[in-house]
Structure 1
Amino acid sequence: MGHGFGQLHKLRGIITYRLSPFELKAFSGLFSHGIPNSIRRIREEILYVVPPLIVGYIIYDQVEKEHERLMRKNPADYENDQ
């Protein structure tokens, strides 16, 4: 029972690698690799994402306008009311 926490059993055939959190550089390569990579990924995907969003917005806008038009009363129905 002299095992420490996390070492309660033995794993055979599994190789694990760990890096100490004190040795990691959290922002290493952010400006040299991270931002250019993000720009590249956005440029590659923009043609797949933006056109469906535009079509969806146009459909939504037209449906809302038609709904508003259908909800209005027809003034011709009330011409002879007194």
Structure 2
Amino acid sequence: MRPTQRLLGGGGGTVGKHNYFLGGWGGFGGLPQKGIISYGVAPNRQNPLAGAFHDAIFNTWRRFSSQVLYWAPPMVAGYYVLNWAIERNEYLNSKAGRAEFGDSEE
């Protein structure tokens, strides 16, 4: 018994807008393109981590140095504001602070 064209995945069926089979998975029935060259490397000749650690160090430094001026000044300013607020709170709740500002409510 001979399989049909549909089972073989070939052309000849009446599919498509103008009753023309467009081809199987990924093959749309057109002419093959010319002038396209593709190269490959055998799996046993590939080194997937070639230069990965070296590139990671320099790429990390490049990205860090390009972004540090966006987040470092606000963090430094926030640190000094928080440090000032903690010292001010400790002074106001100390004996000297209560003596100085004991009668006023802030």
Output the TM-score relative to the length of structure 1.
0.54
Mark the runs of 5 or more structure 2 residues left unpaired by the alignment.
1-45, 101-106
Q: 1:63 to 1:29 in 2, by over 3 A?
A: same
Matched, 1:45 2:91: no
Which one of the candidate residues 29, 44, 48 is aligned to 2:51? 29
Give CA-to-partner distance per residue, 1:29-63, whole Å, 9 cap, x none. 22342211111001001101110110000000000
Larger radius of gyration: 2
Residues matched between the structures, number: 56
CA RMSD of aligned residues (A): 2.8
Give CA-to-partner distance per residue, 1:8-47, whole Å, 9 cap, x none. xxxxxxxxxxxxxxx783x332234221111100100110
Which AA in structure 1 matches 2:63? R
Runs of 4+ more than 3 Å apart: 74-77
Output the TM-score relative to the length of structure 2.
0.43
Which AA in structure 2 matches 1:70? L
